[in-house]
Every structure is written in structure tokens, then in C-alpha cells.
Amino acid sequence: MACQAADGRGEETALASEIPARFGVSDMNGVLEALSETVQLPRVRVAALARLVDELASRGDRVSLQLLGAAAGELEKHVVAITECLELSFDIPIAFAGGAFKSALLKDTLTRSLNARGFQRIVEPRFSPAYGGSLLARRMPHAAGCRQGS
């Protein structure tokens, strides 16, 4: 979306100038060049972009708000798919874990959409994501039949 804004195909957004600044280049073309020369983008750089989107969204940047909304929508689809696959009820506790959830906007948007779907028990995580997932997997022997890769 930042590239589209930079070349006139998309809505104006502060991302079009802020992302190049974070990469130390002058424009989005420079960002694309830097990315094409990088074999693997370090997680810390990706995380910094997520924080940037959150920061700009909190200042009202419409494109950043759209990106956070889209991220919340994809996470909601994951929750629903996993719940259906594991044949769980919608009253199970849902915990958000990971750096993305430092974003109050993302958490609030996802919480509202999950509440609207019937998930009412949004809780603070008690375990690491890996440990919590392994506990759930041990209780769900039929989980191996879930569709993978989609």
C-alpha cells in the first residue's frame, strides 16, 4: 500500500515516507531495492514496521488503520478455523500472544470481531504460545485431521 501511495496508485499515507526513512533510503524504490538484495529480512526490522503501522494508525493514518483491520480479520479467521477444526465451543478462553499484540488497536479490533462471532472469553496468556499449544494438542487427539496449508 505504501508503494501504491508513492507511485499514485493508492491512497496517500504517511507510510510512503516513513518506511523509507526507517530503511535509511530516500523513497519506496529504495526500500524495494534493499529488500531485493536482502536474503532474509531480520525479524527486528519487520517488527519495527509493525510498530510503525500501529503508531501511524493511532494518529489516524487511514491506510495504517486499514492494515491493522486486515490483520485483525486474518487473525479472526485463524481463531475460527482452529476452533472449528478442533471441534471446540466458542466459550473457550482465547489468549493473544506475541509482539503484534503490543498494539492496543489490533487487540481492540480483534477482540470486538471475536466477541461479535460469539467468543466472549478473551484472557491474558498464562503460558508461552508453544506451551499452550502443546497442552491443547495433547487434549485434542483428532487435531491431526485438520486441513493444513490453507
3-state secondary structure of 92: coil
Of the ranges 25-29, 33-37, 124-128, 139-143, which one carries the lowest mean pLDDT score? 139-143
Range of the domain at 79: 71-144
Give pLDDT, residue 39: 60
Give pLDDT, residue 73: 96
3-state secondary structure of 123: strand
Give pLDDT, residue 150: 46
Asked if the structure places residue 31 within a domain, the reply is no
Instruction: Name the percent of the chain lying above pLDDT 90.
Output: 36
Give how many domains the chain has, as a whole number.
1
pLDDT at 43 over 70: no
- Report the b/e string of 73-84 with b at 16+ CB within 10 A: eebbeebbebbe
In terms of C-beta density within 10 A (0-12 exposed, 13-18 middle, 19 or more buried), how is residue 110 classed?
A: buried
Asked if the structure places residue 129 within a domain, the reply is yes
Asked if the structure places residue 107 within a domain, the reply is yes
Asked if the structure places residue 108 within a domain, the reply is yes
Asked if the structure places residue 1 within a domain, the reply is no
Nearest residue to 122 via CA among 132, 131, 130, 114: 114
Asked if the structure places residue 86 within a domain, the reply is yes
Separation CA 134–CA 68 (nearest Å): 28
Separation CA 36–CA 131 (nearest Å): 36
Reported as a single tens digit per residue, the pLDDT across 72-85 is 999 999 999 888 88
Top pLDDT among 37 and 54 is at: 54
Determine the average pLDDT of the residues in 114-131.
Answer: 90
pLDDT at 6 over 50: yes
Separation CA 72–CA 148 (nearest Å): 21
Asked if the structure places residue 139 within a domain, the reply is yes
Give pLDDT, residue 18: 87
Which range has highest mean pLDDT (8-17, 58-67, 141-150)? 58-67
Q: pTM, whole model, 2 decimals?
A: 0.77
Asked if the structure places residue 111 within a domain, the reply is yes
- 142 band by pLDDT with thresholds 50, 70 and 90: low
Angle at 44 between CA 73 and CA 7, to 5 degrees: 65
Separation CA 8–CA 27 (nearest Å): 13
